[in-house]
Amino acid sequence: MRPSQILRSGELPIGKYGHYLNKDTWGHLGCIQPQKGIITYTISSNRQNVLAGAAHDAVFNTWRRFSAQVLYWAPPLLAAYYAMDWAIKR
């Protein structure tokens, strides 16, 4: 049994030959030859794991970005803190 095709916003179903790229389609490329050899691969929505590794990657990406930027904002912050502390004590 073949599952029904899902609705897409495009003009043609994925993987169909004979798709012409002319002035009436997206991009206005002006090509009137049919496009051959277009291979498309899809995966079913219920087979995708969209959050795979998201928590792990978020932790390490956050640390990488923090460690790359800390030397730009930490020294002025510490200098301002010690200047304010010195001014208050004086």
| CA-wise closest residue to 11 among 25, 21, 27, 29 | 25
* Domain residue spans of the chain: 1-48, 50-90
CA quadruple 20, 22, 27, 29: dihedral sign: positive
> Do 25 and 11 meet the contact criterion of CB atoms below 8 Å apart?
yes
**Tally of residues, the chain:** 90
CB–CB of 20/32 below 8 Å?
yes
- DSSP lists the bridge partners of residue 35 as 19
Tokens of 65: 């970005």
Q: What is the pLDDT along the chain (90 residues), one digit of tens a residue?
A: 566 666 555 555 555 555 555 555 555 555 556 666 767 777 787 888 888 888 999 999 999 999 999 999 999 999 999 999 999 999
pLDDT of 7 reads 55
